[in-house]
């Protein structure tokens, strides 16, 4: 996606096809980066819960007080 956006901006097609709307390409790149980071964050949470479910890590904080 990034290489396509840079190519379209570099060769002037964005200005030719959508005059005055070149900023939309930069908004799309920013949203792509932010949503990708959010996806990685969710994936980390899912993996941590899967580890707990499968028994690879223990969540015995409450049992140690007994």
Largest CA distance in the chain: 72
How many CA atoms does the CB half-sphere of 32 hold within 13 Å?
A: 9
- For residues 52 and 59, is the Cβ–Cβ distance under 8 A? yes
21-53, pLDDT tens digit by residue? Answer: 878 888 999 999 999 999 999 999 999 999 999
Q: What is the pLDDT of residue 21?
A: 82
Q: Which residue has the higher pLDDT, 54 or 21?
A: 54
**In the chain, where the domains are located:** 2-55
């Amino acid at each position: 996606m990034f290489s396509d956006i840079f190519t379209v901006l570099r060769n002037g097609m964005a200005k030719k096809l959508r005059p005055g709307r070149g900023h939309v390409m930069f908004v799309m790149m920013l949203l792509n980066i932010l949503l990708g980071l959010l996806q990685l964050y969710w994936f980390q949470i899912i993996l941590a819960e899967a580890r707990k479910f499968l028994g690879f890590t223990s969540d015995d904080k409450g049992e140690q007080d007994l």
